[in-house]
Amino acid sequence: MDKHSGALSGVRIIDLSRVLGGPYCTQVLGDYGADVIKIEPPGGDETRGWGPPFEGDAASYFHGLNRSKRGMAVDLRHPDGKALLLQLLEEADVLVENFKPGTLEKWGLSYEVLSERFPRLIQCRISGFGADGPMGGLPGYDAIIQAMAGLMSVNGEKEGDPLRVGLPIVDIVTGLNAVIGITLALYERTRSGRGQFVEAALFDSGLSLMHPHFPNVFYGGTQPRRTGNEHPNIAPYEVYRTATQPIFLAVGNNVQFTRLCELLECPSVSQDERFASNGARLGHRDDLRAVLESAMANWDGEKLAKQLMHIGVPCGPVLDTSQALAHPHTRHRNMIVNIGHYRGTGSPIKLARTPSHYDTPPPRFAEHTDAILLEAGLTQQQIQQLKAKGVLPEVPVT
């Protein structure tokens, strides 16, 4: 299986995005065969400097988001840089950008202008709040959206302060929503022959993550609150202590709860009226935790989790990052990618006939400029002239 037979083989993407949401989106598309041309500003994608650790000229942060792409750098503020972008768009299917809304319009590159010249072009904009409305055009950042969309209000210990999720969940989901939007637009184009504008906003994506809290509010539930590791609607569904490492139980029905109690050799617990149904267990959560942790007190956590999973009770040991990477199932699922010195996280999307393919590590700054422009029809002399003008920087401009 190679890139030329990937699900998106033949699709060319011009990627003007930087930092996280956009690069995450285009890395997914590149993993499945799209020819992604990453065009960085003269100073480079700022995540190149978000280290340590570093590998080569870029931080690990950059490496985690930019494989399966070819790289060049263009000063789009220069008239020749703008002309060069338009030339590259002649052979492109998708433009991905996450400039502040209004930036491309200021440069004379609005969607209206681009769609008139390139009617089949799909333009995907990733932004904080969208272009209009009360907060339209304002910059958005993952942690700010976690705060404003309600995520922090339901994350943290019961008596603790609102807490940010410990990874950029909103940025990542926005990137995935952009992938969905782009692939939907590509499919629709096979019928209409026309491109369209695709928008993925961090604010919208943050709100979309609030399940089951928003549905609980919609249907008359109490105001959602922080519950630590507890689930607002299900019990037992949280972390429990064992003799060794803690485990996470996610018991969704009475059959699973009965099996849990049988394995722990306390079958009468499932018949106790306090624990006989999910609603009853929710009402006596503290009592339930005390009973279960007493029964687990002499169990090895990992052994217990394995036995519970094998009898159909969802459970897993609480692992740290190193343990998760070393888990044999991580390797079995091809979730670690190695390309020379590059090491990254594999794609979670599995296609049987056209799987992901990894052959291009994250590009060095402006690494593929000459090759891309020669393909586009420029001569080596023209490329050198553009470099001399500063349109095509070869090292980051600080």
Tell me the domain boundaries of the chain: 3-209+332-389, 237-326
**Helix, strand, coil percent content, the chain, rounded in steps of 5:** 40, 15, 45
Q: What angle do CA 282, 284, 285 make, to 5 degrees?
A: 65
* Res 57: pLDDT: 86
Alpha helices in the chain (DSSP H): 21-31, 60-63, 79-89, 103-106, 111-117, 142-148, 169-192, 202-208, 213-218, 254-263, 278-283, 285-296, 301-310, 321-326, 328-332, 369-375, 380-389
Distance CA 97, CA 23 (A): 9
Give 343-358 pLDDT, tens digit per residue. 999 999 999 999 999 9
Cβ atoms within 10 A of the Cβ of 164, count?
A: 15
Confidence (pTM): 0.93
Using CA atoms, how far residue 348 sits from 20, 328, 337, in Å, is 17, 16, 12
Using CA atoms, how far residue 269 sits from 165, 199, 297, in Å, is 34, 51, 16
Hey, which residues does 237 pair with through a beta bridge? 250
* Res 398: pLDDT: 84
Q: Is 161 one of the annotated active-site residues of the chain?
A: no
* Res 32: pLDDT: 98
* Res 2: pLDDT: 58
Distance CA 205, CA 200 (A): 8
- Chain length of the chain: 398
**CB 151, CB 210: distance < 8 Å:** yes
Largest separation between any pair of C-alpha atoms in the chain: 84
Q: Which residues of the chain are modeled with pLDDT < 50?
A: 1
Q: Which CATH class is domain 3-209+332-389?
A: alpha beta
* Res 1: pLDDT: 44
Sequence-separated contacts (24+) of 221-227 with Cβ below 8 Å: 224/150, 224/153, 224/154, 225/153, 225/154, 225/158, 226/153, 226/154, 226/155, 226/156, 226/157, 226/158, 226/160, 226/162, 226/163, 227/154, 227/158
CATH of 237-326, picked from 1.10.287.620, 1.10.150.570, 3.30.1540.10, 3.30.1300.10, is: 3.30.1540.10
Using CA atoms, how far residue 136 sits from 48, 91, 141, 203, 360, in Å, is 28, 31, 14, 10, 37
Paired sense of beta strands 315-317 and 237-240, if any: unpaired
Task: Judge if the upstream peptide bond of residue 52 is cis by omega within 30 degrees of 0.
Answer: yes
* Res 240: pLDDT: 97
Of 171, 286, 287, 370, which residue is the catalytic one?
171
